[in-house]
Structure 1
Amino acid sequence: MLKRQVHHESSDCYLISLAWLLHSSWNWSSTGDSLSTLGRKRGTKHRKFIFCLLLVLLKTTGVLAIKVIVPQPAIVGQNARLQCLWESENIQVYSIRWYKNGKQFYSFIMGQKAEKVDHKMGEIEVDLVESDETTVTLRDVKPNYEGIYRCEVMSEAPLFQSRISSANLTVVNQPQTPVITGFRQRYRLPDTLRVNCTTHNSRPEALISFYVNGRVIHQDSGRVMNMGVVKNKYLDTFTSSSQLTLPLSEKYIPSLTLTCRAQVKGFDFNTEKSETAEVHRPSFFPFFSKGNMESHASMALLASAIAIVQILQGLW
């Protein structure tokens, strides 16, 4: 809690007010001025007196300074600690009340026997042990905890002066470890690396990046294609997927390491998955390579070669 400060300038106004009352009373009985002149003088002094009394009242009631601090951001599954820092001048605070989107969920009542109150809002779970007059702790953060949180500090009777401050709480869910599909353990030049990378349950949506042997494949390289983002309605999270298409060359011999990294958009939270494969030079007969055999033309060529070998064996 911020240090409370108490000022004593109000005593000067008390002295000024008392002196004016004594002085005006003496002038009223002893002076020979006309009533109109006295009226003008008294009107001027009366305004000064009222101003001074207002200043005294302001100094007596005090002014509350208040600030709400929330995590940036809150993480799903973890606890979130929200703070309401305040200071006062010459007044006693009666209560501190917390609201989420306008609904009260926690109160702290000051006094010899301080009282913590969980208003059982339903969608928010408060950890009363870890909460007090300046802090409220939310247990096991969920996506629906996101919203505007307001703190209201109120002084004691008879004034019940209050001040309010608010802040927006953003909730982030770290993406699950990416899943890589289409990756092989062995490649032979001139094969093409073609893989998909998918990550689930991020909030907000995740950005997917590919790294080959530690070097990033930029989104604008023409090698990376975003496969789309799907919102999971039940969990209020997102599934993101991207595809990498990369023709292999001699520089990837004897092996390559592919890394797929998923980063929460706008925040420094990420997870990644890596796979390693062997890369070989082409065989003596290129059309027998595994990569070329994937095409129908290569399969037909292979069948023709086998037939020719069988014919030659028959002639021998």
Structure 2
Amino acid sequence: MMVFLSRVLLTLLLHHLTGVAVGEVSVKRVVVPEYVDRGDNVELGCHWEVPNNKLYSLKWYLNDREIFRYMPEENPSIEVHPLPGVNVNIELSTVDRLVLNNVQLSSSGKYKCEVIAESPLFLTADKSDPMTVVQIPKEKPRIYGRQDEYHIGDTAHLTCVSAMSSPPAELTWFINDKQAPEEYTIDMNTSHSEHGLTETRKGLKFRVTREHFHNGAMNLKCTAKISSLYYKTQQHSVDGQLTYNVPAMESRDILALSGSSSSLGVGQQQQHQQLVVVVALAVVMEMVMTSMLEYIPS
């Protein structure tokens, strides 16, 4: 604060003594790409103005750590401060541009250009913008836990796994092109590689009902998205068996009734067969009523 006030007072004094206005130092804009691919060569730009073009120094910072300095009165005029993952191309970098070779994930961050005018005031201005280095996969996400067919009453349980990437992919499940309800999805642990990449996982688990089938089929889809840079899908289409899985206990009861008829007379066998039919119909009706209740709002 004291330095700033002293500069202001000195500016006012010069203006008072000479009657000449002291021009402003400004950085009009910086050109920093928002996203770049890992391994690319990148050019950053700085558009600045100083009074009478009397520049004392121009510096570039990454996350407030100096990486490049240009001082026209020095020899050599360019000085580089190495940082991990930041490879400045000295031959191509100038007072107006900074060239980085083979950018890495650690090259991500806020890039700031700072200009300082010549003495006596050494007025300063700066401007910054962020840059993110990404590694985008070419592969689609993978789906595990597939089944060839589902019956009403089955439990579908699948897992979607993204390819390794940076930043991590965002996974979304769809059932017949509609986003799966939140209560169907399961957030799972992510995996990280030694190179800074991330593999994400998301589960899908729900009880299969008649409403999940369209024209006898069910389509399950997982999408992986990274901002506007990457969007890929993996689908799993299955045939639906619109039959009910009869509970094991009820199945055994029907078989027991059916098997015991062999030791009865003709009239008793007819009555027994009728009883078997009635029991089977009762089981089916119970299953149908259960299914209908799923459509009644709670």
Output the TM-score relative to the length of structure 2: 0.62
What are the Cα deviations for residues 185-239 of structure 1, in whole angstroms up to 9, with x where unaligned?
A: 33344544321112243444433211223221132xx1112123x3526233433
Q: Give 1:65 deviation, angstroms.
A: 0.7
SS at match of 1:234: coil
Native 8 Å contact 2:85 2:103 kept in 1:
no
- Cα distance in structure 2, aligned partners of 1:63 and 1:53: 18
- Cα distance in structure 1, aligned partners of 2:59 and 2:101: 18
Native 8 Å contact 2:109 2:130 kept in 1:
yes
What letter matches 2:222 in structure 1?
Answer: C
The aligned residue for residue 194 of structure 1 is 157
Is the radius of gyration larger for structure 1 or structure 2? 1
- Cα distance in structure 2, aligned partners of 1:280 and 1:172: 41
Kindly tell me: are residues 104 and 249 of structure 1, through their superposed partners in 2, closer, same or farther at Cα, counting changes over 3 Å? same
- Which structure 1 segments of 5+ residues have no match? 1-47, 312-316
What does 1:193-232 align with in structure 2 at a 5 Å threshold?
193-219=156-182, 222-228=183-189, 230=190, 232=192
The aligned residue for residue 268 of structure 2 is none
The aligned residue for residue 34 of structure 1 is none
1:52 matched to 2:6? The reply is: no
Kindly tell me: are residues 282 and 231 of structure 1, through their superposed partners in 2, closer, same or farther at Cα, counting changes over 3 Å? closer
Correspondence for 1:281 among 241, 245, 253: 241
Percent of counterpart pairs with the same letter?
23
Q: Give 1:55 deviation, angstroms.
A: 4.5
- Cα distance in structure 2, aligned partners of 1:78 and 1:186: 46
What does 1:53-202 align with in structure 2 at a 5 Å threshold?
53=17, 55-56=19-20, 58-59=21-22, 62-66=23-27, 67-93=29-55, 95-108=57-70, 118-127=80-89, 131-155=93-117, 161-174=123-136, 177-202=140-165
Native 8 Å contact 1:84 1:135 kept in 2:
yes
Native 8 Å contact 2:60 2:111 kept in 1:
yes
What are the Cα deviations for residues 61-103 of structure 1, in whole angstroms up to 9, with x where unaligned?
A: x322114343334444444443222123323335432222444
What letter matches 1:144 in structure 2?
Answer: S
SS at match of 2:51: coil
Native 8 Å contact 1:253 1:281 kept in 2:
no
Native 8 Å contact 1:173 1:203 kept in 2:
yes
SS at match of 1:126: coil
Native 8 Å contact 1:151 1:164 kept in 2:
yes
- Cα distance in structure 2, aligned partners of 1:258 and 1:114: 63
What does 1:275-314 align with in structure 2 at a 5 Å threshold?
275-282=235-242, 297=248
- Cα distance in structure 2, aligned partners of 1:79 and 1:93: 28
Native 8 Å contact 1:187 1:277 kept in 2:
no
Native 8 Å contact 2:141 2:224 kept in 1:
yes
Kindly tell me: are residues 122 and 187 of structure 1, through their superposed partners in 2, closer, same or farther at Cα, counting changes over 3 Å? same
- Cα distance in structure 2, aligned partners of 1:49 and 1:150: 31
Q: Give 1:128 deviation, angstroms.
A: 5.2
- Which structure 2 segments of 5+ residues have no match? 1-11, 263-298
- Cα distance in structure 2, aligned partners of 1:49 and 1:252: 82
- Cα distance in structure 1, aligned partners of 2:50 and 2:116: 10
Q: Give 1:152 deviation, angstroms.
A: 2.5
1:257 matched to 2:257? The reply is: no
- Cα distance in structure 1, aligned partners of 2:173 and 2:15: 70
SS at match of 2:147: coil
- Cα distance in structure 2, aligned partners of 1:89 and 1:144: 36
Give the alignment's Cα RMSD to 1 decimal. 4.1
- Cα distance in structure 1, aligned partners of 2:14 and 2:76: 39
Native 8 Å contact 2:168 2:199 kept in 1:
yes
Output the TM-score relative to the length of structure 1: 0.59
The aligned residue for residue 16 of structure 1 is none
Count of aligned residue pairs for this structure pair = 243
